[in-house]
Structure 1
Amino acid sequence: MRAIDIGTSRVIVATPLQSIHEAARLMQQHLTGCLVVVHANESGQTPVGIVTDRDLSRSWLSEGCDVQATPMASVMSQPVVVCRHDATLAQLIAIMHGSGVRRLPVIDEEGLLAGIVTADDALVAVTALLQQLTEVMLIEPPLEKHTALASNHHGTRDGNGE
């Protein structure tokens, strides 16, 4: 499983100059807990930060900022922690663990935004793998059958030629 397959390509984005009021409106409109802040150009969008609902609540409650005038650049987490689109499940979990983040923008080979993967997405992927392993363990023949199969394969009962 790769990061791009585990996460989603649907990412709600904003620019660093948009207000945190706009960030809150976008999060509510799209029912999401974060926005990826990007610089856009003709090639695509490059992630430069991330704003979470927690970032917004801290700004409003603790700093008492003017939500209409305060740009996202002042509250976004930066530099943004990202993962490559081909990162494995183990790699993206290691990135999350090492950086203490729960959301990773996914980038392609050029560093452009390709999606986002969350801790919840990773948990679903791990659970699916564990389910597959459980199924393997349930359908595996008992040890006695393995021993009989191995003995028959070697043409003898104990596999030592006796």
Structure 2
Amino acid sequence: MKVGECCKRAVVAIASNASAGEAARLMRREHVGFLIVHQDADELQKPVGVLTDRDLVLAVMARDVNPDAVTVGDVMTRQPLIANDGDDLGDMLQGMRLTGVRRVPVVDGRGALIGVIAIDDAIDIITGLMCDIAGSIKSEQKHEWRARLS
């Protein structure tokens, strides 16, 4: 399965020159704890970093920094793991495990932001596949019992 087939297309992104306070307010408004960061005025929104609610707590709140005095670019995680829409889901999950991240921006062939995939999404997919496997086994057992009774 390809990453582009299972990523969420609803993405919340922010420009790197926005303030940390703006980022926090955006997270609250959109009910997310993860923003994909792009350069200001980049129509393709090519990811240059990511910002989590944890980043804001550790870099801003815990240090008593005025959130409107620092930019997203100052506190974001740079060079995030990025998946291409044509990447294999299994390979991307291995990359997530190796880098210790739970969410990954997804880009198209031009590098344009098109989605995000999270561990939760992968668990949903894998759970669905496991249900299909279990259903296949149960179906096979029913067919065997019917064949024996005939």
> Do they fold alike, i.e. is TM over 0.5?
yes
CA distance in 1, matches of 2:42, 2:89: 30
Q: Which residue of structure 2 aligns with residue 7 of structure 1?
A: 7
CA distance in 2, matches of 1:71, 1:116: 22
* Amino acid across the alignment from 1:51: L
User: Are positions 1:98 and 2:98 aligned together?
Assistant: yes
| 1:66 positional shift | 1.4
Rg comparison, structure with higher value: 1
* Amino acid across the alignment from 1:89: L
User: Are positions 1:41 and 2:42 aligned together?
Assistant: yes
- 1:1-162 equivalences in 2 (<5 Å): 1-39=1-39, 40-42=41-43, 44-141=44-141
Identity value in percent = 31
* Amino acid across the alignment from 2:4: I
TM-score by length of 1: 0.82
* Amino acid across the alignment from 1:10: A
- 3-state SS of 2:92 partner: helix
CA distance in 2, matches of 1:33, 1:61: 15
Q: Which residue of structure 2 aligns with residue 153 of structure 1?
A: none
* Amino acid across the alignment from 2:3: A
* Amino acid across the alignment from 2:132: Q
CA distance in 2, matches of 1:126, 1:89: 11
Unaligned runs of 5+ in 2: none
Structure 1 segments (4+ residues) deviating >3 Å: none
- 3-state SS of 2:46 partner: strand
CA distance in 1, matches of 2:107, 2:14: 16
CA distance in 2, matches of 1:85, 1:32: 22
CA distance in 1, matches of 2:134, 2:101: 29
CA distance in 1, matches of 2:21, 2:100: 26
| 1:116 positional shift | 0.3
CA distance in 1, matches of 2:30, 2:106: 19
| 1:17 positional shift | 0.8
| 1:141 positional shift | 4.3
Q: Which residue of structure 2 aligns with residue 154 of structure 1?
A: none
CA distance in 1, matches of 2:88, 2:138: 26
Unaligned runs of 5+ in 1: 149-162
CA distance in 2, matches of 1:65, 1:89: 39
TM-score by length of 2: 0.88
Of 126-135 and 56-65, deviating more is: 56-65
